Amino acid sequence: MMKIVIFAFLYLLFHNGDAAFTYGLENDLRTLLFTNNSYNKLTRPNAQVSVSAKFNILTLNSLSMRDQLMKMAGYFSLEWTDARLNWTADAAYSSDILVIYTTQDYVWVPSLSVTNSVDELAVISDDTVIIRVINDGTLTWTPGGVYETQCSTDVTYYPFDEQECDIVLTTWGYTNVEINLVGNGVDLSYYEPDGEWEFLSYSVTSTTRTAGASSLPQITFAMKYRRRPTYQVMNTILPLMLLGFLNCFVFQLPADSGEKMGYSLTTLLAFAVYLTIVSADTPTTSLHTPVLSVYLITMLSMGVVAILLTIFVLKCHFSTEDQPIPKYIRRICSIAKKLERNHCCKKSEVVDEIENDKKGNKGSPRKAFKPELSWPEVTTALDKFFFKVYTIIFLLLTFVVLFVFVIHYYT
C-alpha cells in the first residue's frame, strides 16, 4: 500500500511538471493581459517610469579624427516595470508561466533617441527585437544597431593620443517628470578589440537637458580609447626623424661635388610629402595643434634654411681671391675655431721674426704676415659650423618631442 502511494505521488509530481506549460495556457494569459484588462500600449505604466539603460559594446567600427566621428556597433539593454503585466497574484499562471515574450507593437516602450547621432536622428524602434516580460511585470528590451555619433577629438599628442567619445541617450517627448532615466553602466562581455584603438575605460553620467520649458532626462555613455601607436611610429615618426637627420649632412658634402643643392631639395620635398600625409589624418580645426605637425613644420623650415645656407656656402666657395672676406664671416670662422680643437681657419696676424744675417748672427727683428684666410677655407669652416649647429638643434628638438610623447603616453 505504501509503495502505491509513493508511486502515485511521484506520477502526479512529474506529470504536472511536464504539463505546466501549454500553448493554451499562455494564450489564455495573453488574452487576460492584453484583451480582458484592456491594455493600452500608448499609456505609460506609472506617473513616472524608471527606465534602467545599459549599453553593450560589440565593436568599434571606426574612429575618424579628420571627420570627428565615431561609429560603433552595440545595443541598449533597457529595463522597466509595468504593473499591468504582473501575473504573480494569479495562481493559475504564476507558477507555470514565468516569462512571456512580445514586441513593441503590443506593449508600452519608452521613447528614446541617440541625440548626438550624425547618421540619423530618430526614435529607437525595432519591432523585430523581442521584449522579455517576467511574471512580476519587469520588461527587458535590447534594441541595437550601428551608431555613428559626433566625437570632438584632441590631436595634440597624435599618434600617442587618447580620445573620449560619447553616446547620448535622451527621451523623445517625455520629460523627466514622466520618465526617469538611470544609467546602468557599459557591458564589454561581447566586445571585440580593435586593431587601431585600445579601450581604456568608460563612464556613465545621468543629467537633464533643457528643451524650451521642459527638462528632458539623458544618459551619456563616455568611452575612452587610446591609439595603438606602433603603425604610426613605424610609418611616420621614424621616417621623419631619419629625414631630419639626413638634412644635417648636406653640410658634409664638398662644394665641388655639385650635389649640395640637389640633396637639400630632395630632403625638403620628402618633408613636404610627409606633411601632406600627416595633414590627411588630422581634423581641419584650429582648436588643437598636433605636436607632430609642429615638429614636422620645424623640420621643413630647417630644410628651407639649409637650402639658403647652401646657396650662401656655394657663393663663398666660388668667390674670387681678390674679393675681401667680410667681418661677419670672419666672426663665424672664429666661433667655429672655438668649437673644434683642430681648426682650419686663422686670422692673418703679424708676428716678429728674427732675421739672421749671412754669418749666422742675429739681426734686427722684422715684421712678417702669415697667409690670410682663403675662400675655400671659409667654405670648409662654414660647413663644419652649420653642420654642428644643425645637428645640435635637431637632436634637442627630437629629444623634446619624444620626451613629451613618452610622458603623455605613460601618465
Q: How far apart are CA 71 and CA 120, in angstroms?
A: 12
Strand-pairing partners, residue 155, are none
pLDDT at residue 283 in the model: 67
Say if residue 390's pLDDT is above 50. yes
Q: How far apart are CA 65 and CA 222, in angstroms?
A: 17
The average pLDDT across 31-47 equals: 90
Question: Tens of pLDDT along 357-370?
Answer: 445 555 555 444 44
192 near 58, Cβ under 8 Å? Answer: yes
Give yes or no: residues 177 and 317 share one domain: no
Q: What are phi and psi of 159, to 5 degrees?
A: -95, 20
Give yes or no: residues 90 and 224 share one domain: yes
pLDDT at residue 219 in the model: 94
The average pLDDT across 104-133 equals: 91
pLDDT at residue 317 in the model: 81
Residue 87 has a CB neighbour count (10 Å cut-off) of: 21
Name the percent of the chain lying above pLDDT 90.
37
pLDDT at residue 120 in the model: 79
Question: Tens of pLDDT along 247-271?
Answer: 888 888 888 777 888 888 888 888 8
Give yes or no: residues 187 and 245 share one domain: no
pLDDT at residue 18 in the model: 43
Q: What are phi and psi of 299, to 5 degrees?
A: -65, -35
Give yes or no: residues 192 and 289 share one domain: no
Give yes or no: residues 376 and 361 share one domain: yes
Distance of CA 5 to CAs 11, 13, 17, 170, Å? 10, 12, 18, 62
Give yes or no: residues 247 and 382 share one domain: yes
Give the confidence band of 355 by pLDDT, cuts at 50, 70, 90: very low
Q: Which residue has the cell 527585437?
A: 129
Domain final residue pick, 228, 252, 275: 228
* Residue 260 domain boundaries: 231-409
Give yes or no: residues 267 and 159 share one domain: no
Give yes or no: residues 148 and 258 share one domain: no
Domain membership flag for residue 86: yes
Domain count, the chain: 2
Residue type at 13 in one-letter notation: L
Q: What is the CATH number of the domain that holds 246?
A: 1.20.58.390
Give the confidence band of 342 by pLDDT, cuts at 50, 70, 90: very low
Residue 92 has a CB neighbour count (10 Å cut-off) of: 12
pLDDT at residue 17 in the model: 42
Domain final residue pick, 187, 207, 228: 228
Question: Tens of pLDDT along 143-197?
Answer: 999 999 999 888 889 889 899 999 999 998 899 899 999 999 999 999 999 989 9
Q: What is the pTM of this model?
A: 0.75
Of 131, 128, 129, the residue nearest 41 (C-alpha) = 131
Q: Using CA atoms in the order 195, 197, 201, 204, what is the torsion angle rounded to 10 degrees?
A: -110
Q: Is the four-CA dihedral 195, 201, 206, 208 of positive or negative sign? A: negative
Domain membership flag for residue 4: no
Question: Tens of pLDDT along 46-81?
Answer: 999 999 999 999 999 999 888 889 999 999 999 999
Give yes or no: residues 191 and 286 share one domain: no
Say if residue 13's pLDDT is above 50. no
Say if residue 16's pLDDT is above 70. no
Domain membership flag for residue 298: yes
Domain membership flag for residue 11: no
State the average pLDDT for the chain: 83
pLDDT at residue 320 in the model: 77
Residue 90 has a CB neighbour count (10 Å cut-off) of: 14
pLDDT at residue 4 in the model: 44
Give the confidence band of 83 by pLDDT, cuts at 50, 70, 90: very high
Q: How far apart are CA 226 and CA 228, in angstroms?
A: 6
Domain membership flag for residue 347: yes
Give yes or no: residues 188 and 159 share one domain: yes
Domain final residue pick, 166, 197, 228: 228
Domain membership flag for residue 13: no
Of 234, 370, 390, the residue nearest 301 (C-alpha) = 390
The average pLDDT across 311-318 equals: 85
Domain membership flag for residue 16: no
Q: What is the CATH number of the domain that holds 123?
A: 2.70.170.10
Domain membership flag for residue 239: yes
Give yes or no: residues 189 and 275 share one domain: no
Name the percent of the chain lying above pLDDT 70.
85
The average pLDDT across 368-383 equals: 69
Give yes or no: residues 190 and 266 share one domain: no
Highest mean pLDDT out of 70-74, 122-126, 232-236 = 70-74
pLDDT at residue 350 in the model: 42
